Amino acid sequence: MSDQEQKSGERIAKVIARAGLASRREAEEWIAAGRVAVNGEVIRSAALNVTDRNLFTFDCEPLPERERTRLFLYHKPRGLITTHADPQGRPTIFAKLPRNLPRLISVGRLDFNTEGLLLLTNDGELARALELPATGWLRRYRVRAHGTITQDRLDALRAGITISGIHYGAIDAAIDRVQGANLWLTFAIREGKNREVRTVLAHLGLEVTRLIRVSFGPFQLTELEEGEVEEVRTRVLCEQLGEKLIAMAELDFSGAVVNRAEPDAQERREPSPRKGARGDLRVTSWGKKPAEKSTVEQRPKQKRRSKGAEHAWRAHDDDQPGRKLRRKFHGARADDSQPHPPGKVRAGSLTDRKGRSVAVERYGKPPVREAPRDAFAKRARVSEHQDQRKDESKNERFGKRPHKPSGRRRAPDRARGARPHRPRDKGKS
């Protein structure tokens, strides 16, 4: 390899990282262990620039082709740490991602108890470019804090602030609403230093109880639910990054997308709403059903323990009675010799309170149904009623009133006929 090719090419660790096998640090460890060969020669130093003309092998196998630059939006829940491996054994975000995604790295970090939007990409150069303060992408947070503060003190943060020898750049903060001893703030920063929001608010006398990142540059959290992953389309990504940023990071959008193993049915299943665990993953609908059954070793199911003598609701063998208790037998329903009503058995149906039909057997004589009335008599009654209405309307038209019975109307409960005669006493006046 000539000196000109070494100066114009890329570091071997960077090429391995862009192939999606490992990070740069892990690639350097592989090189030091003698697992990487260039043009058939094993190398021990990562200080080597290579080009596309060189042949690379890792463990005697060729490196995969470079995949197209991709960007994903991830709604990070609380209780997850942003790293690939945690020495303390805490759960990580990468362990919760679907298996059909490429090897991803995060653009910046979110604390263990911080939730919200986190950008993931398969290109380390893109992640590094978006993390730089020179890029100028605004990070916006929603903060719930305990304490009291005025808007004037928050406006003073626009000029920056220095805390414990560390200078933080311009911060745009505003009070949204106050709820008793708590208040909601909107915090906007451009640098994104380690625990910047919590450190600045603690310096102002506020204790952060909840921190949510709602946007990172032009990308918004919007309706992305907790634990969901959504890929940004290539056309939208190119428009938002711009030509200058694409050229600076040397991004490649012409490569192919490598199809990986799909998650099995157990991982695709959404968490139960009754449990509501924050760390559970909810896979989006763009994943496809796997064609073959996954060969991943599953955890063996535990045998269901029977409720034996050691169960809390059962007595021990020594405390159980020696004689087995017997239940009284009062006879089966089939032995009931109740006489049925006379008559033949008829099939019928009933409707329960839910509108369902229930088949029954009826005994005795069927109920007598009234014969249908004569249709001619019904029409005659209708015609008579119509003639009576016509006469009443005619009398009203020509000034005649309908005939009303004269005299005092009798009460409906009074007996009909003449009143009984009762002689009056002459002695009484």
What does the alpha-carbon distance between residue 370 and residue 381 come to, in Å, rounded to a whole number?
19
Contacts of residue 317, defined as CB under 8 A and 6 or more positions apart, other chains included, come to 309
Average pLDDT over residues 232-237: 93
Which residue, among 175, 172, 171, has the nearest Cα to 184 in the 3D structure?
175
What does the alpha-carbon distance between residue 36 and residue 178 come to, in Å, rounded to a whole number?
59
Could you tell me the CA-to-CA distances from 229 to 72, 74, 77, 84, 101 in Å, in that order? 7, 5, 12, 17, 10
Looking at CATH, the fold of the domain delimited by 3-62 is given as 3.10.290
Q: Which residue has the tokens 């470019």?
A: 129
278 has a pLDDT exceeding 60: no
**Which residues are 41's β-sheet partners?**
38
Task: Decide if 3-62 and 71-256 have a common fold.
Answer: no
* pTM greater than 0.75 (yes/no): no
Q: What is the signed CA dihedral for 404, 405, 406, 410, rounded to 10 degrees?
A: -130
Q: Which residue has the tokens 């008599």?
A: 377
What does the alpha-carbon distance between residue 195 and residue 345 come to, in Å, rounded to a whole number?
84
pLDDT digits (tens, 9 = 90+) for 158-207: 999 999 999 999 999 999 999 888 999 999 999 888 899 999 999 999 99
More reliable by pLDDT, 224 or 16:
224
DSSP code string of 230-299? EEPPHHHHHHHHHHHHHHHHT---SSPPPP-PPP-HHHHSPPPTTT--TT-----TTPPPPSS---PPPP
In CATH terms, 71-256 corresponds, of 3.30.2350.10, 3.90.1300.10, 3.40.47.10, 1.20.1250.20, to 3.30.2350.10
Q: Which residue has the tokens 């070494």?
A: 6
What does the alpha-carbon distance between residue 368 and residue 37 come to, in Å, rounded to a whole number?
101
Q: Is 222 helix (H, G, I), strand (E, B) or coil?
A: coil
What does the alpha-carbon distance between residue 5 and residue 21 come to, in Å, rounded to a whole number?
24
279 has a pLDDT exceeding 50: no
What does the alpha-carbon distance between residue 28 and residue 88 come to, in Å, rounded to a whole number?
24
More reliable by pLDDT, 296 or 377:
377
Q: Are the CB atoms for 144 and 115 separated by under 8 Å?
A: no
Q: Return the active site residues.
A: 111
Per-residue pLDDT, 8: 66
Instruction: Sketch the domain layout of the chain as residue ranges.
Output: 3-62, 71-256
| Rg value, the chain, Cα | 44
C-alpha 373 chain-centroid distance: 64
Average pLDDT over residues 16-36: 81
N-term to C-term CA, the chain: 152
pLDDT digits (tens, 9 = 90+) for 314-359: 445 555 555 555 556 555 555 555 566 666 777 888 888 888 888 8
Q: Is 6 helix (H, G, I), strand (E, B) or coil?
A: helix
Contacts of residue 376, defined as CB under 8 A and 6 or more positions apart, other chains included, come to none
Per-residue pLDDT, 227: 92
